[in-house]
Chain A
Amino acid sequence: MSVEIARHWRLKPQRYQLVGEVCPECGHKMFPPRDVCPECADHSPQPEFKFSGLGEVFSYSTVYNPPEGYEESAPYTVALVKLEEGPLITAQLTDVKNDDVKIGMPVEMTTRKITTQGEEGLVIYGYKFRPRLAAA
């Protein structure tokens, strides 16, 4: 697997902070950012919008045959998470037993190691979602 430093550097705001965008024309909040609003096709520059990271599990699947680079944490569970602001996002779940995952489970974003690339082992960090910790 090749080391893709520039590509992953470009994606840091999205990976570490869930930085998306909001359309100035129709108010649609989107993650990831786009150049054209998928709702109203507005082309004007869209202000950044930082998602809260709170959401719930919309769907999930436990992966038993991981692709190369992901064997370390297999079997792991991936999910479609519905963010509280509206959009769906794809991510791994963490800090939860695969068998305990349920649709509707409240989750929150956390930053974790996603994979490593190349012989030097460039580490790619990014968002995963864990069960929401109860309020203290």
Chain B
Amino acid sequence: MRDVSIIGIGQTPVGEHWERSLRHLAYDALKAALLDANMERADALYVGNMLSGEISGQAHLGALIADFAGLRGIEAVKIEAACASAAAAFRQAYIAVASGLQDVVIALGVEKMTDDVGSKLTAGLASAADADYEVIHGISFVALNALIMQRYMYEYNVGREDFANFAITAHANGAGNPNARFQEPISKEAFLKSGVVASPIGLLDASPMADGAAAVILCPSEQAREFTDNAIRVAGSAMATDSLSVHDRRDPLWLQAAEDSARKAYRQAGVGPQNIDFFELHDAFTIMAALSLEAAGFAERGKGTWLARDGAITRDGKIPIATRGGLKARGHPVGATGLYQIVEAVQQLRGEAGANQIPNARVGMTQNIGGSGATIATHIFERLN
């Protein structure tokens, strides 16, 4: 198995890109990443995306984007794992390079959500859940997370206000990220007053969706130094699954796939939670932030919200999260999010995070969740020095 590093990154701002279609957005990020890596070609392309079929009537994204990006002929394929699609695509790209079968590989996440303003989008997002036994009952994706949050609040005796800092911290960080969907801080009052979407989830517990694309270029670490002084190595990479539906989970209040993939990634990287300088977790909903911190070993079961309450998750805290806004403020273009997390981790480790820079960031972790926790990919990165 070869050691693998990231030699280039690229991203579009997360927003409503009315003038850019899916293939244009993909190319924007891909081109930026190749430029950053000083590359013109690649051996393979792995595209993470969830909704292109449902919203744009377009499947077959690997071939489409390779062709459109001037890479006609290379091996290319779309990888789908609901909202974990992008990290899953990165995982396949990592495996391709680590195995020795490919040298220079592009991992790209792209999502074009704003072309549909109504039911296709909601139906598409719900397809991350069980169509026959969850969705058919009128369970929106928000409602699924709400069921988890309601039970969590009941079992651990916490209130809505205990989740506020997950959203507040994310927005405070988003304010320093020029690519973020929302660049304004929010107040605790605004959080508590925000309308209920599916009880107990309020509007400000949930991440905004929009268009976006992010990409990275991977190559073997031994070649990385030829291309850049700024290579970031993949110290740990793992993915795991859990039951698709919430009702089949052994413990609906535990992200088993997060624990499993984090354990494998920690072991591969030779680190533990105490070594992680920042954690780009999957804060699609504030409840997911709390559960992710617990499953990855940063808080005991039921105490994830204590980290938020005590300020441990801010940039000055013990375990900074959402350092460039997270899903909550940078935004959640669902099938692309996992690569935004990875691009942001690379920026931190290179010292390129501007106003959001975590001082002396040496080891960073990203975690991307598909559906209500059925697919989770965890990655750990450090500087290649």
Which of B122, B196, B197, B243 contacts A67 (CB under 8 A)?
Answer: B122
Taking the complex as formed, is B133 at the interface, i.e. its CB lies under 8 A from any CB of chain A? yes
Chain B residues, CB < 8 A from A88 = 246-248, 252
| Given the contacts A38-B243, A78-B143, A114-B137, A65 and B118 also touching, CB distance less than 8 Å | no
Taking the complex as formed, is B134 at the interface, i.e. its CB lies under 8 A from any CB of chain A? yes
Taking the complex as formed, is B126 at the interface, i.e. its CB lies under 8 A from any CB of chain A? yes
Q: Mark A82-107, 1 if CB is under 8 A from B, else 0.
A: 00000111111000000000010000
Taking the complex as formed, is A32 at the interface, i.e. its CB lies under 8 A from any CB of chain B? yes
Q: How many residues on the A side are at the interface (Cβ–Cβ under 8 A)?
A: 34
Q: Mark B127-143, 1 if CB is under 8 A from A, else 0.
A: 00010111111111011
| Given the contacts A11-B132, A80-B151, A91 and B252 also touching, CB distance less than 8 Å | no
Taking the complex as formed, is B99 at the interface, i.e. its CB lies under 8 A from any CB of chain A? no
Whether A92 lies near B151 (C-beta < 8 A) is no
Chain A residues, CB < 8 A from B252 = 58-59, 80, 88
Chain A residues, CB < 8 A from B201 = 61
Whether A115 lies near B151 (C-beta < 8 A) is no
Which of B132, B143, B197 contacts A32 (CB under 8 A)?
Answer: B132
Taking the complex as formed, is B147 at the interface, i.e. its CB lies under 8 A from any CB of chain A? yes
Taking the complex as formed, is A53 at the interface, i.e. its CB lies under 8 A from any CB of chain B? no
Whether A67 lies near B146 (C-beta < 8 A) is no
Whether B150 lies near A66 (C-beta < 8 A) is no
For B131, give the chain A residue with the smallest CB separation: A7
Q: How many residues on the B side are at the interface (Cβ–Cβ under 8 A)?
A: 36
Whether A68 lies near B199 (C-beta < 8 A) is no
Give complex CA distance A7, B143 in Å.
Answer: 24
Which of A60, A65, A87, A89 contacts B197 (CB under 8 A)?
Answer: A65
Give complex CA distance A92, B143 in Å.
Answer: 11
Give complex CA distance A124, B132 in Å.
Answer: 12
Whether A65 lies near B151 (C-beta < 8 A) is no
For B126, give the chain A residue with the smallest CB separation: A67
Chain A residues, CB < 8 A from B151 = 58-59, 80, 103
Taking the complex as formed, is A76 at the interface, i.e. its CB lies under 8 A from any CB of chain B? yes
Which of A11, A38, A58, A78 contacts B138 (CB under 8 A)?
Answer: A78
Chain A residues, CB < 8 A from B139 = 63, 78, 90
CB of B77 to closest CB in A, whole Å: 28
Chain A residues, CB < 8 A from B299 = none
Chain A residues, CB < 8 A from B196 = 62, 64
Which of A60, A76, A124 contacts B150 (CB under 8 A)?
Answer: A60
Whether A103 lies near B154 (C-beta < 8 A) is yes
| Given the contacts A68-B118, A88-B247, A88-B248, A63 and B136 also touching, CB distance less than 8 Å | no
Give complex CA distance A104, B118 in Å.
Answer: 36
Chain A residues, CB < 8 A from B122 = 67-68
| Given the contacts A67-B126, A80-B147, A92-B137, A38 and B248 also touching, CB distance less than 8 Å | yes
For B154, give the chain A residue with the smallest CB separation: A103
Question: What is the interface of chain B, defined by CB distance below 8 A to chain A?
Answer: 118-119, 122-123, 126, 130, 132-140, 142-143, 146-148, 150-151, 154, 195-201, 243, 245-248, 252
Given A62-B199, A67-B126, A126-B136, 19 additional A-B pairs, CB 8 A: A7-B132, A32-B132, A62-B196, A63-B139, A64-B198, A66-B140, A67-B119, A67-B122, A67-B140, A68-B118, A78-B139, A78-B147, A80-B247, A87-B247, A88-B252, A90-B133, A90-B139, A114-B137, A114-B138
Closest 9 CB pairs of A and B: A68-B119, A61-B146, A59-B151, A70-B138, A88-B247, A62-B199, A59-B147, A61-B198, A59-B150
Question: What is the interface of chain A, defined by CB distance below 8 A to chain B?
Answer: 1, 7, 11, 32, 38, 58-70, 73, 76, 78-80, 87-92, 103, 114-115, 124, 126
